Amino acid sequence: MAARALFLRENDTYVATELAQGAWDPGDANGGSVLALLGHCLEDVPSLVPMTPARMTADLMRPVPLHRPLTVTTSVVREGKKIQLVDLSLHVDGVLHARASALRLRDADLTGRDDLPAGSAGTVPQLVPPEAAESLRESSVSQAGFLWGVDMRYAPSRDGTTTGVWVRLEVPVVDGEAVRTSARAALAFDFANNINVAMPPGTATTINPDVSAHLLRPMTGEWVALTGGTRFSPSLGRGVSTASLSDLDGVFAEVTVCQLVQPRAR
């Protein structure tokens, strides 16, 4: 593919390339690309003191089209030296397509204190390493463009009891601009959708109109492992997925998404 990034910057707008193309409609971007752009823009918002994201909640209200200008606006709802709340909105032709609320907390190094509650950051999931996992580029019936911008690999656990997913962003979010930590993590949030579900190709669409993530710390490295599970309610045509996100240092986020389940025409 000719594109080198998920989005191109054109003056004050962004344009989604074919590398952002989703699996449900060839004319629309996948949710991970949209979240990555919102995470990218979040890091342009200054804070009074060093802060990192603690929560990001996004509503994916309408499909984001490829090859059309879109705008992202940000506003600080609450400014402070302990917390900051930022709203982000994505518009196409003046119509709201996605929005997010990001909570950032102040950073403070409290290591070495013996008067604080003890806790665990979580253990690294025992999945086979990315280099031993199967890339969807080799096995997927979908030719969605995002598979060439994101390396997604299904991975069994070492003991064979469960499966997970390794995800790595392989191109810039915005052409000519460095990949930002918040963008890399936000892209992975969307891959919690249908975690640990085996679904025959072409049977249904399972669109996730929302994402809610809580972050313990910024991620490290490039690979993200997702492990978790999905529950469905056939009587309501919906599902809920919950996933833990890990890097090689352990769990760094917990993510929940809901699904709108719709059978495809037979």
Q: Place 55 in a pLDDT band, splitting at 50, 70 and 90.
A: very high
Q: What is the mean pLDDT of the chain?
A: 90
**Residue 67 to residue 110: CA distance in whole angstroms:** 46
What is the average pLDDT across 173-198? 93
The architecture CATH gives domain 7-106+124-263? Beta Barrel (2.40)
Q: How much is the pLDDT for 266? A: 65
pLDDT recorded at residue 132: 86
Task: Give me the phi and psi of 125, to 5 degrees please.
Answer: -65, 140
- C-alpha to C-alpha distance for 264 and 266, rounded to whole angstroms: 6
Mention every residue, 6+ apart, whose C-beta is less than 8 A from residue 112: none
Q: Output the pLDDT for position 121.
A: 61
Q: Percentage of the chain with pLDDT > 70?
A: 91
Assign 75 a pLDDT band (cuts: 50, 70, 90).
Answer: very high
Beta strand residue intervals within the chain, DSSP E? 7-10, 13-16, 51-60, 69-78, 83-92, 95-106, 134-135, 150-156, 163-169, 204-207, 210-215, 224-233, 238-247, 250-263
Domain residue limits, the chain = 7-106+124-263
Residue 70 backbone zone (phi > 0: left; psi -120 to 50: alpha; other: beta): beta
CA quadruple 195, 166, 150, 147: dihedral positive or negative? negative
**Backbone phi, psi, residue 221, to 5°:** 75, -165
| Average pLDDT score over residue span 186-192 | 95
Phi, psi of 127 (to 5 degrees): -85, 155
Beta bridge partners of 16: 7
- Whether the CB-CB separation of 171 and 149 falls below 8 Å is answered with yes
Residues contacting residue 77 through CB under 8 Å, at least 6 positions apart:
85, 86, 87, 101
**Confidence bin at 142 (pLDDT 50/70/90):** low
Global pTM value:
0.92
Q: Which of 105-109, 141-145, 205-209 has the lowest mean pLDDT?
A: 141-145
- Whether pLDDT at 127 is above 90: no
pLDDT at 185: 96
17-35 mean pLDDT: 92
Predicted confidence (pLDDT) at residue 1 exceeds the cutoff of 60: no
Owner of token pair 């959708």: 193
Q: Using an 8 Å Cβ cutoff, are 188 and 153 in contact?
A: no
